């Protein structure tokens, strides 16, 4: 899936709440700006969610700042961050970035530059939405249900595939660079978005660059409400039984999806993520059930598994 953003008119109609996202593109294409705009279009925090965020902040190093009451957090730790900084730790355990990003966005820029071991500790909380830190003397559990938004260059120099042709990286160098992110972590990402440099935002050929942020936000809020009314949680939080129940496909689409998954070598986890994303696309479309277009769009956001 490619995204062109030549101007600064970033209206994130493609941004789907609770779905993890990876931007790939050359430097200077606004990947960081796209990510930082995200909390502004997400649904407002409920009272309960605001209380949860305040509780985490109150035991953090920085403490609670009422200025941030009920705002969705946007945390952007540097790629040199340690695993303790990211997931929490210390002799008297304190929450890390993933808990400070609870119900908000965790932005990891320059994803391949993070220490691989540090990234691997994200896998479990990305599934469970919480993190348990146990030390000899004590034990702590913090919430950690965050939307991961990551960004990376396509190669070490950053210009692989760029029209300028200035990339001289060898295919080995490109593979090694991309290989710094493990398959299981990639499995947990729902949207792979390439950010290029032309003039207008285009997704699937449907340009919606003129849409205002508030209109986008309204659509996201509406889709969010539909999800909570139907199943009590956002689609991104559905477990296997919930996926089966709420993201069901008709026989024709089961065959279509089966063929696509086989061709792309998708793992069972990746398949579940595609179905959840298709459900969200259907909700944004106010559709009762997932149809082939929703499914095809969700598959289009997926990157084939590496061999
Ligand atoms: Zn390069």
Q: How far apart (Å, rounded) are the C-alpha atoms in residues 35 and 33?
A: 5
Ligand 1 center–CA 111 separation, angstroms = 16
Which pLDDT belongs to residue 5? 41
Ligand 1 center–CA 195 separation, angstroms = 15
For residue range 96-107, list pLDDT tens digits in order. Answer: 999 999 989 999
Length of the chain: 307
Ligand 1 center–CA 152 separation, angstroms = 12
For residues 52 and 143, is the Cβ–Cβ distance under 8 A? Answer: yes
User: Which residues keep their CB under 5 angstroms from ion ligand 1?
Assistant: 155, 157, 160, 167, 169
- Tokens at 51, concatenated: 């209380």
Helices H, strands E: what count in the chain? 13, 10
230 to 247, 289, 294: CA distances (angstroms): 11, 12, 18
Q: How far apart (Å, rounded) are the C-alpha atoms in residues 79 and 122?
A: 14
Which pLDDT belongs to residue 230? 95
Which pLDDT belongs to residue 8? 32
Which pLDDT belongs to residue 135? 75
For residue range 255-302, list pLDDT tens digits in order. Answer: 999 999 999 999 999 999 999 999 999 998 899 999 999 999 999 888
Specify the pTM.
0.86
Ligand 1 center–CA 165 separation, angstroms = 9
- Tokens at 87, concatenated: 């997931």
Residue ranges, the chain, pLDDT below 70: 1-17, 197-211, 304-307
Ligand 1 center–CA 252 separation, angstroms = 42
Ligand 1 center–CA 166 separation, angstroms = 8
Which pLDDT belongs to residue 17? 67
Ligand 1 center–CA 160 separation, angstroms = 5
Among 150, 151, 60, 152, CA closest to 102: 60
The set of residues, in sequence order, having a beta carbon less than 8 Å from that of 49 and lying 6+ positions away, is: 103
């Amino acid at each position: 899936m490619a995204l062109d953003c030549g101007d600064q008119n970033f209206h994130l109609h493609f941004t789907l709440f609770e779905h993890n996202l990876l931007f790939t593109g050359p430097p200077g294409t606004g990947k960081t700006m796209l990510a930082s705009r995200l909390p502004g279009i997400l649904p407002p925090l409920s009272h309960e969610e605001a209380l949860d965020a305040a509780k985490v902040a109150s035991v953090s190093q920085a403490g609670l700042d009422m200025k941030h009451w009920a705002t969705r957090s946007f945390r952007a730790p540097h790629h040199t961050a340690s695993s303790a900084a990211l997931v929490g730790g210390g002799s008297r355990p304190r929450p890390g970035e993933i808990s400070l990003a609870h119900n908000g966005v965790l932005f990891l820029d320059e994803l391949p530059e993070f220490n691989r071991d540090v990234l691997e500790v994200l896998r479990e909380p990305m599934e469970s939405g919480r993190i348990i830190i146990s030390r000899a003397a004590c034990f702590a559990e913090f919430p950690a249900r965050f939307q991961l938004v990551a960004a990376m260059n396509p190669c070490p120099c950053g210009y692989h595939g760029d029209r300028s042709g200035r990339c001289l990286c060898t295919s080995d160098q490109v593979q090694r660079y991309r290989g710094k992110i493990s398959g299981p972590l990639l499995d947990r990402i729902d949207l792979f978005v390439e950010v290029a440099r032309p003039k207008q935002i285009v997704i699937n050929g449907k340009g919606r660059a003129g849409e205002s942020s508030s209109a986008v936000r309204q659509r996201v809020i509406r889709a969010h409400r539909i999800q909570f009314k139907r199943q009590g949680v956002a689609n991104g939080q559905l477990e296997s039984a919930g996926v089966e129940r709420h993201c069901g496909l008709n026989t024709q689409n089961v065959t279509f999806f089966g063929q696509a998954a086989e061709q792309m070598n998708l793992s069972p986890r990746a398949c579940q993520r595609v179905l959840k994303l298709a459900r969200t696309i259907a909700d944004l479309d106010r559709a009762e059930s997932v149809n082939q277009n929703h499914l095809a769009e969700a598959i289009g956001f997926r990157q084939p598994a590496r061999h």
